[in-house]
Structures are given as structure tokens and as C-alpha cells.
Amino acid sequence: MIECRDVSARVGNFGLHDVSFVIPTGGHAVLTGPTASGKTTLLELIAGAIAPDSGTVLANGRDVTLMPPEMRSVGLVPQHGYLFPHLDVRRNIEYGAVGNNSALADDLARRFGIDHLLDRPVASLSGGERQLVALARALAARPPVLLLDEPFSALDTARRATALDEFAKLQADGKFTVLHVTHLESDGASATQRFEMTDGALRVVSTAI
């Protein structure tokens, strides 16, 4: 589960204001809103990269408000799919897996259609390929909470649909909790909740879509 209780934070001249919501365990919420409205800031705060000025953050049933990122068991997939440049695709995916699980890396690569890229250096990847590798790496860690920042934005329509379908299957099997930032309503087809962010304030739009 993911829960924010009256969370506020100031980052430069921008701020999140009294953000409150609950995503139950195994739930999938999509977060939409204009550019620079605070969506990425909220993800980074839940992940621990930004400290709140007030309020409480819970992840997987634990109060993580003051925990360092590495103690939160929260996965974050940034929009631009930041990868380790000195590792090839396979080792990037395996990095997240317990015991560098090669079989799991192979399975995730196959599911997302990047198995032919496993031995490639990341510098040779397209933007969409980088996003899929970053998503596979995050999933390989099997986090109970996963935060997605437009992880499919660089994919073409057909590949996006396939990746979304595979992700929905993995979430149904793994029952991990997802908060997914996107600009496309179609990305939230499998979501159970929808939130909207405007000028740092979050509004719950629906709890069943």
C-alpha cells in the first residue's frame, strides 16, 4: 500500500500542499496533471529523494517518512530510464534482482520484447528501449511498491500496448502496489484509482476506473 497523510514539501519555488491519498495493497493508481504540477516531485518524495516538511508517508504498511531511500522497499522508474552506462542490458536488469537472477532477467526481457538486446551496451539503445530496460530492472527487484514516471512515453503505440499488457499481468501475479504518472488515459486502463495533480495539490478523481 501507499499512503500520504497531509504531506507538504517545498522544493525551490514549488511546493506540494497537504497531499492525502491511500492506494491499497495490490492497487494501481494513475496520476495525471499538467506539466510541472508536482507529479514527479510526489514520486520522488515517496521514494525518499525529497523530504517532506510535514505529514506522513507510509509504504507497504510502514511509516517511511524519515527512512533513507534504500530502506523503503520502494521501486522508482524515472521517465528517462536512467541506466548504468558501464553495464550491458542483461547486467542492468540483473542488478535489481536478488542474487543477480539471470533466469528472471531473461523472463522479463522476453515479456517486454527486449531479449534480443540483452548483450547490448546501453549507449546503443533507443529511448523506448531504455525505458523498458529500466522497467525490467525495477521489476526484477520485486518491490512491494512501485512508482512509475511515464515509463512508456517513448514507445510507439503497438509496443506501448504490449508493454502495458505485460505489466498488468505481472502486477496481477505479484500483487505489488503501483502509483503511475502518465499523460495518457489509455495507460490507466488496468488502474483501480485515478488522481489528478494541479499546482502541487492532489485531487482524488475516482476510486474505480
Nearest-angstrom CA–CA distance, 176 and 7: 23
More confident call, 5 vs 183 = 5
What pLDDT, on a 0 to 100 scale, did the predictor assign at position 208?
56
pTM value is 0.94
Q: Do the domain assignments include residue 129? A: no
Q: Do the domain assignments include residue 113? A: no
User: How does the average pLDDT of the chain come out, rounded?
Assistant: 94
Give the tens place of pLDDT for each residue, 20-72: 999 999 999 999 999 999 999 999 999 999 999 999 999 999 999 999 999 99
Q: Do the domain assignments include residue 88? A: no
Q: Do the domain assignments include residue 55? A: yes
Q: Do the domain assignments include residue 164? A: yes
Q: Do the domain assignments include residue 47? A: yes
Q: Do the domain assignments include residue 77? A: yes
Count of structural domains within the chain: 1
Is the pLDDT at 152 greater than 70, yes or no? yes
- Domain holding 64, by residue range, is 2-83+144-206
For residue 174, what is the domain's CATH number? Answer: 3.40.50.300
Q: Do the domain assignments include residue 39? A: yes
- Residue 174 buriedness (CB in 10 A; 0-12 / 13-18 / 19+): middle
Is the pLDDT at 186 greater than 90, yes or no? no
Is the pLDDT at 113 greater than 90, yes or no? yes
What pLDDT, on a 0 to 100 scale, did the predictor assign at position 207?
73
CA dihedral over 113, 118, 124, 128, signed as positive or negative: positive
